[in-house]
Amino acid sequence: MKVVMANDHGAVELAARLKSHLENRGYEVKYLGTATEESVDYPDKAEECVNEYRKGGYDFGVLLCGTGIGISISSNKMNGIRCALPQTRYSAEMTKRHNNANFIAFGGRVEYSEDPVEILDAFIDAEFEGGRHERRIAKMMALEGK
């Protein structure tokens, strides 16, 4: 089990926490983020992480910036990426079950009402349901480049 992860300076602490949690769950984490609060640009980190993911062998990607918004938007601009920015365990579970998201994003400066570790676990533990959702994902992905 392999995960690729990147973050900017706005999520150093949360990235370290999620990375440690993933490793404790048995994942090999390819960490591309910054471990300092020296400014880096989240679009660059998103691109680096997605390009690594595209090399293959990864189960999913994790992206973090101050809010999670900029880095998730950036990654979603890249073909083949479905990056979700869930705020709860339920939304994390459903993005995997219905959207088969291949990336999940978090905000290091966000005050979550639920523990981000639990949100990540809900994403990991959920399984894509297929069926009618496959048709919807195909339609979603057909929007790329329009």
Contact 105, 71 (CB under 8 A): yes
Residue tagged active-site, from 9, 65, 83, 133 = 65
CA-nearest of 30, 28, 63 to 45 is 63
**Is residue 133 annotated as a catalytic residue, yes or no?**
no
Encode burial over 59-85: b for 16+ CB neighbours within 10 A, e otherwise. ebbbbbbbbbebbbbbbbebeebbbbb
| HSE (side-chain half, CA atoms, 13 Å) at 11 | 31
Backbone φ and ψ for 25, nearest 5 degrees, come out as -85, 0
Is residue 21 annotated as a catalytic residue, yes or no? no
What's the CA gap between 56 and 80, in Å, rounded?
A: 13
Catalytic site positions: 65, 98
